[in-house]
Amino acid sequence: MDKKPKRFSQKRRGGKGRGKKILIISLVGFFVLAGFVGGFALFRCAVPEPSDIIEFFLEPRTLRRLARTHEHENVHTLLGDYLTTREQWGGAPMEGAPDPAKVDIVIHHTAMNDPIELIELAHLERGWAGTGYHFVIGQDGMIYEGRPLHLRGAHVDEANTGKIGIALIGHFAPEDPLTGHLATEPPQVQIDALLALVEVLQTVYGIETVSSHRLYNITACPGDTLQRIIEEHFQVEMIEPVVLP
């Protein structure tokens, strides 16, 4: 009569010991998992989403950390939703002379208000592979991919190697009574997009030089008003306007 309760009591003590071990193991597993999830969440918080990167501007060290080996891919990542790729706007894949090393950024105006699709068509009619500019910026601030960055551009006569071409849609020449053209300035959102794009390109490629088309060719491009903005923001060489026939 005495032994049965004793054995029952021993089993109860043994079961309680196993229960404690299971509880301890479960708690350890929980804290390990919680630490992993918390660490991953902190990591996600430390890396900004691509669409947030162009919020004028990231710290240079953050841009340098994101810019590694595939430069043109990094540019796409950094611009995020602010960039409309060739595929997105309907441009065909392009081939051309490779030109991966970039040393200068050259700014233009398109001298017309046509969209990227018509700019592409106009350049194709010249016998080019497609848009000569690497980027085209609309007056709404949207940045369009033109010629892929790893290809040589077609925007500076006889001096395209190593140069990234950026064109702002619009005609920013002074008033011309003969043609009826009125002096216009790029809207602020278009200027902001230009500054952000140049910031990204300079960081990714290590470019220090920013120029206007006038530095390389005898031309009225990029127009007096845009030329003044370029000189103001990038401290480029002062160049007198050229009036073409």
Q: What is the DSSP string of 156-188?
A: STT--TTEEEEEESB--PPPBTTTTBPP----H
Examine the domain organization and report whether 61 and 120 are in the same domain. yes
Give me the torsion for CA of 144, 60, 161, 224, rounded to 10°.
60
Examine the domain organization and report whether 41 and 70 are in the same domain. no
Examine the domain organization and report whether 40 and 150 are in the same domain. no
* Structure-token pair, residue 3: 């032994």
Residue type, 38: G
Examine the domain organization and report whether 35 and 54 are in the same domain. no
Q: Is residue 244 part of a domain?
A: no
Band of the pLDDT at 24, cuts 50, 70, 90?
A: low
CATH number of the domain encompassing residue 201: 3.40.80.10
Q: Is residue 223 part of a domain?
A: yes
Examine the domain organization and report whether 185 and 95 are in the same domain. yes
Q: Is residue 242 part of a domain?
A: no
Site of tokens 């079961």? 15
Helix ranges (H only) for 47-164 are: 60-66, 71-79, 86-89, 116-125
> pLDDT digit string (tens) for 68-101?
445 667 888 889 889 999 999 999 999 999 998 8
Number of domains composing the chain: 2
Query: What's the confidence (pLDDT) of residue 3?
Result: 44
Query: What's the confidence (pLDDT) of residue 102?
Result: 92
Examine the domain organization and report whether 104 and 177 are in the same domain. yes
Examine the domain organization and report whether 27 and 108 are in the same domain. no
What's this model's pTM, rounded to 2 decimal places? 0.69
Domain assignment of residue 89, given as a range:
50-234
Examine the domain organization and report whether 150 and 41 are in the same domain. no
